[in-house]
Amino acid sequence: MSVNQQAHTGPPYGQPQPAYQRYQQPGYGGQQMPGVPHSQYGVYNGPMPGYQQPAPPQGPLRTPPTSGAPPPTSGALLPVGQPAYNQFGQGDVQNGIPASAVQMQRPSVSQPFIPGSTPTSISQLSSFQQYGPSPTGAQQLTNHMAGMTIGSVPTSAAPPAGVGYGPSTSVPPASGSFTATGSGLYTPYSSSQGPRPGVPLAQPAFSGPPLSMQRLPSQGSGAPRPSTMQSPPLSGQALAGLPASQPNHLASPPPPQQAMSGPHPGPPMTGLQGPPPPSTHPSQPGYQIQQNGSFGQVRGPQPNYGGAYPGTSNYGSQPGPPPPPKRLDPDSIPSPIQVIEDDRNNRGSEPFVTGVRGQVPPLVTTNFLVKDQGNASPRYIRCTSYNIPCTSDMAKQSQVPLAAVIKPLAMLPTEETPPYLVDHGESGPIRCNRCKAYMCPFMQFIEGGRRFQCCFCSCVTEVPPHYFQHLDHTGKRVDFYDRPELSLGSYEFLATVDYCKNNKFPDPPAFIFMIDVSYNAVKSGLVRLICEELKSLLDYLPRGGNLEESAIRVGFVTYNKVLHFYNVKSSLAQPQMMVVSDVADMFVPLLDGFLVNVNESRAVITSLLDQIPEMFADTRETEMVFAPVIQAGLDALKAAECAGKLFIFHTSLPIAEAPGKLKNRDDKKLINTDKEKTLFQPQTNFYSNLAKDCVAQGCCVDLFLFPNQYLDVATLGVVTYQTGGSIYKYSYFQLETDQERFLNDLRRDVQKEVGFDAVMRVRTSTGIRATDFFGAFYMSNTTDVELAGLDCDKTITVEFKHDDKLSEDSGALLQCALLYTSSAGQRRLRIHNLSLNCCTQLADLYRNCETDTLINYLAKYAYRGVLNNPVKTVRDALINQCAQILACYRKNCASPSSAGQLILPECMKLLPVYLNCVLKSDVLQPGPEVSTDDRAYIRQLVTSMDVAETNVFFYPRLLPLTKVDVDNDALPAAIRNSEERLSKGDMYLLENGLNIFVWVGVNVQQGLIQNLFGVSSFSQISNTMSTLPILENPFSKKVRSIMDMLQAQRSRYMKLIIVKQEDKFEMLFKHFLVEDKSMSGGASYVDFLCHMHKEIRQLLS
């Protein structure tokens, strides 16, 4: 069945989850197996009493459960509102460190570091000023930074994240012009061919007797780092073995004979030679902005662009004679491609074994296997630094944010074992008496094993008799290797009833499909498409356990300005429809028969899905409601006393008279004004309140948007965002071009594993504390991240601040605990532990940072900042913080050298190029073609991205297609994202996680065009195709297999866009050549690096 195949492209690495590996080998019990290589932690050799065989997250091989099925539920109605469960114990007394006055006084959200703590007198460097003005001195920047309020955005007010991106949303369906955007003025009855307003909806005839409309009563509403670890050298000196073209030690300006001299040596392919580059750039004395590339028109001064640099409007405009024209050779500055390549070569061949504290994992772009030996896999947690300063002063001095990007339910490749499930029976997991941390490898057993000392708060707790075990001569429990919670970084506990709402085990969740049946939705073929797809897709609901069939019940609603509920009870011959037109006071008109088991009601469901497109075929309704739809779904889940997910398919701004009604308030003139932030804010707080109710019920909302114009993603997305849901956006949806993408997204979204009704808490060693959180969730207090749903693709970024000193000896520990309900209705706790090193030398911090993670944090921080600050302020703050990070390194860690040299820490040598990509992203510096909805969508999307996703989103992957080896599985070597790297005679593939572009040069050989596109010439290539034609030749097969592989790696199906060189669509493509100057005024990499250098020198002088 194709659905199934599609579905299982979901896991990363494009491979199905393996049958779950269990403790089934003989000889279990901690004995070393003969022939099994000895490892520090040994192997799990068999079933352990007390272990429940863990359920695979998904996969074809499942067996009926032997235990752990949820107990029958009582018929009592849930009191709505306060959940009675508490992951962290029963009551305040047990909730965290008791009565900690210190904790009470801490701010609930992070505060920006006070840059004033950064040393201002730096003797090492001269006040060398070659690149122009130094109008903004360090102190000035400092003041600016200190005035920022980004960090004070309440996390609970975090905004939604968004969907359609760039070209996919700005390309109108029929015309070939890309200038139209989704942000046009809204007219209530959208198109000229649209129906007249006010035409009553023709009620479809049903063969079954409609239920009488009956108003129901409201249903209530520790080891040292090994010497072999590859640490960069302390100073900025280039690492031995690094290619010469990858210096992190950049002389700027270098001697004329070196980097700046003459024609650019770099472009790999020489196509047509363009006109000679201009000798100077008007806005940037000293550097030429761009080497003129090997093809195309001159990319010289571009006077229409905005300021040369974000945040420095006066940059380059200082009086005085400009220095002689020089240019910085792009090949002489750090290349992302080279860094990625080096890491692959150095670290891709050996497994990453997590037994060592503070180990920096390979980059996200490197394929590697993980062996859990006591710390969580980097697939679950990545940190900005794996060696954190002992003191708050040091942390402030460096300005390096201390953050972890956590993906608690991440999918693992087939070669790795999913977390084991531990069942401690009725007594539940063993926890510290005081801080409630869960048993983990870092707890210290003392007194012969009768008590243990907490690794987080040092409190000593009695070991319960049933958990007692003797210690060996090293003080280790003799059952150490048999208990995941003693020897592994990640594992799960089966939760007891104490961890359940109202002390009652949950029912399995429900999925409710809510389909917009307005004129636009019907006319585009969308309604029919959804109904057809659901008929087969419902067979692939997640099973989330050992169940043979999914426990998830399903329900169906259609709506325009009224709602239609369907009774699909298995005993009916035909489905029955109930219409609720009182949208101001929404209620669910039926309980029995609304949520059903798919297999039991299959005939009725199929009949319903056949009838829906017919019923509304002649509709003329264009006015839509939205909030009542969510309300109805929420009420249905409340009535059924379960958590669940709403899948809402929606086309337009909800203007019909109803709660949550919206008006068109799009105004692109607000861009670059102090009011720009309002474009990201919801226009009413109605949806935040609704979201709160949804979270309390565990009602997660996924939104599929199909807009033909502005529909206010910033407002409609609020509930999705705060309930941990996903938004997908298909602007100008057209069946032919968009259906494959939509169906792939829908299939993955319906089938992926989700934890429902979840609460996450991150505990830390005394000395640091989680202070700020970024992602799609809700917070009602300062510590617990509440998620109506959390799927395998979502991340939460957590920032830490010092509240005391850390010690180098004990390091710092993180423990992330996620309490959730599986799709099978099982209540579980997933625990991830990570141990970090602590340092008293800044150099140790800089040696153990991870720039990709840092960028993930900075992007989320900035994207949240635009909600409450002018965008320019946010950009300036980002630049300033990074300049301080690099200046601190230069001052404290680098060996003395000329101030004219830019010296970057080895681990951060890509910080400038990646930071520049964030600064010129559509949220922070939109191009003219980017709509308001696109920006809101991207903002929401990025907020939940993991490190791999932000990496490719901000610095897309660019592959030369004519370099592919058709006989080899390997991808062609990626090239840097700059136009000058492109050749007219080549074709390139560019992907950023949302789109795949295929760029075709005008001089590409005819044979290649024929092989890939099936047409005989460049001019015949259609740029409206949404898939490559399936042609029987090796080149076509290879390119399509590369695309399939890329699609399988991403959590969303990427839109294919064919771009012909010098075609009107090429501007869209160039937007993603992020090393170049952008249409919106974003700086080129070369320019930005020079600018950062200037900023750093100002801080140091």
What residue ranges bind Zn ion (CB under 5 A)?
A: 432, 434-435, 437, 454, 456-457, 459
- Looking up tokens 């991240």 gives 785
- Shortest gap between Cβ of 87 and Zn ion (angstroms)? 15
- Shortest gap between Cβ of 813 and Zn ion (angstroms)? 11
Say if CB 1078 and CB 1068 are below 8 A apart: no
- Shortest gap between Cβ of 834 and Zn ion (angstroms)? 16
Question: Closer to Zn ion at the Cβ: 94 or 117?
Answer: 94
Question: Closer to Zn ion at the Cβ: 379 or 763?
Answer: 763
- Shortest gap between Cβ of 811 and Zn ion (angstroms)? 16
Tally Cβ neighbours within 10 Å of residue 37.
8
Output the CA torsion sign for 1030, 1032, 1036, 1039. Answer: positive
Q: How far is residue 980's CA from residue 136's CA, in Å, rounded to a whole number?
A: 33
SS (H, E, C) 809-866: CCCEEEEEEEEEECCCCCEEEEEEEEEEEEECCHHHHHHCECHHHHHHHHHHHHHHHC
CA 368, 374, 375: angle at the middle one, nearest 5?
Answer: 60
Say if CB 679 and CB 667 are below 8 A apart: yes
Structure tokens at 940: 């929401």
β-bridge pairing 490-494 and 420-422: parallel
Question: Closer to Zn ion at the Cβ: 434 or 747?
Answer: 434
Question: Closer to Zn ion at the Cβ: 430 or 1039?
Answer: 430
- Shortest gap between Cβ of 766 and Zn ion (angstroms)? 9
Question: Closer to Zn ion at the Cβ: 293 or 811?
Answer: 811
Question: Closer to Zn ion at the Cβ: 6 or 461?
Answer: 461
- Shortest gap between Cβ of 453 and Zn ion (angstroms)? 9
Question: Closer to Zn ion at the Cβ: 269 or 435?
Answer: 435
Sorted by sequence, the CB contacts under 8 Å of residue 44 that are 6+ apart come out as 23, 25, 28, 420, 481, 482, 484
Tally Cβ neighbours within 10 Å of residue 297.
11
**Cα dihedral angle (668, 671, 673, 679), rounded to 10 degrees?**
70
- Shortest gap between Cβ of 432 and Zn ion (angstroms)? 3
- Shortest gap between Cβ of 431 and Zn ion (angstroms)? 8
- Looking up tokens 């040393």 gives 119
- Shortest gap between Cβ of 835 and Zn ion (angstroms)? 15
Question: Closer to Zn ion at the Cβ: 455 or 703?
Answer: 455
111, 253, 579, 598, 807 from 792: Cα distances, Å: 30, 47, 36, 24, 35
Tally Cβ neighbours within 10 Å of residue 1075.
24
Q: How far is residue 32's CA from residue 1032's CA, in Å, rounded to a whole number?
A: 53
List residues bridging with 830 in a β-sheet.
Answer: 492, 818
- Shortest gap between Cβ of 804 and Zn ion (angstroms)? 15
Residue 190: CA atoms inside 13 Å, Cβ hemisphere, count? 25
998, 1023, 1055 from 1026: Cα distances, Å: 11, 8, 7
Sorted by sequence, the CB contacts under 8 Å of residue 553 that are 6+ apart come out as 508, 510, 511, 595, 596, 597, 598, 640, 642
DSSP letter at 980?
A: G
Question: Closer to Zn ion at the Cβ: 796 or 813?
Answer: 813
Q: How far is residue 984's CA from residue 980's CA, in Å, rounded to a whole number?
A: 10
- Shortest gap between Cβ of 836 and Zn ion (angstroms)? 18
Sorted by sequence, the CB contacts under 8 Å of residue 162 that are 6+ apart come out as 713, 714, 717, 727, 729, 933, 934, 935, 936, 937, 938, 939, 940, 941
Question: Closer to Zn ion at the Cβ: 7 or 439?
Answer: 439
Output the CA torsion sign for 761, 764, 767, 771. Answer: negative
- Shortest gap between Cβ of 98 and Zn ion (angstroms)? 11
User: Which SS3 state, helix, strand or coil, does residue 934 take?
Assistant: helix
Q: How far is residue 805's CA from residue 912's CA, in Å, rounded to a whole number?
A: 31
Say if CB 571 and CB 559 are below 8 A apart: no
Question: Closer to Zn ion at the Cβ: 454 or 871?
Answer: 454
- Shortest gap between Cβ of 761 and Zn ion (angstroms)? 13
DSSP letter at 111?
A: -
- Shortest gap between Cβ of 443 and Zn ion (angstroms)? 9
- Looking up tokens 């959804």 gives 530
- Shortest gap between Cβ of 436 and Zn ion (angstroms)? 7
Question: Closer to Zn ion at the Cβ: 766 or 1051?
Answer: 766
Question: Closer to Zn ion at the Cβ: 120 or 458?
Answer: 458
Amino acid residing at 27: G
Say if CB 605 and CB 599 are below 8 A apart: no
Residue 578: CA atoms inside 13 Å, Cβ hemisphere, count? 23
- Shortest gap between Cβ of 759 and Zn ion (angstroms)? 18
Question: Closer to Zn ion at the Cβ: 388 or 457?
Answer: 457
Question: Closer to Zn ion at the Cβ: 47 or 89?
Answer: 89
Question: Closer to Zn ion at the Cβ: 456 or 1072?
Answer: 456
Structure tokens at 640: 């059924």
CA-nearest of 856, 826, 692, 853 to 753 is: 826
Question: Closer to Zn ion at the Cβ: 445 or 1013?
Answer: 445
- Shortest gap between Cβ of 377 and Zn ion (angstroms)? 24
Output the CA torsion sign for 625, 631, 636, 637. Answer: positive
- Shortest gap between Cβ of 790 and Zn ion (angstroms)? 25
Question: Closer to Zn ion at the Cβ: 99 or 1030?
Answer: 99
